[in-house]
Amino acid sequence: MRLQTDRPTTVREAIYACRKGGTVFTLGVFAGLVDKFPLGAVMNKALTLREHSNTGTATSPRSSSA
């Protein structure tokens, strides 16, 4: 499911849309603080949170030195 990129609302929507006992997986580079993370929904649904972060250098555009 591809909803948005770099937004905490996307993770919230994934948690609310996930079935009981399901897994929410995030991929990418996340920085900063998140307000109002639905930890209660994660616990009540017995969700598994998985994440993988990649380096930003491989996916970020290179600056031109011209």
Model confidence over 5-59: pLDDT tens digits? 557 888 889 999 999 999 998 877 666 677 788 899 999 999 999 988 766 555 5
The amino acid that residue 32 corresponds to is: G
This prediction's pTM: 0.66
How far CA 48 is from CA of 14, 42, 44, 45, 65, in Å, comes to 12, 8, 11, 9, 44
Return d(Cα 56, Cα 62) in angstroms, integer: 11
Strands (DSSP E) contained in the chain are 23-27, 48-52
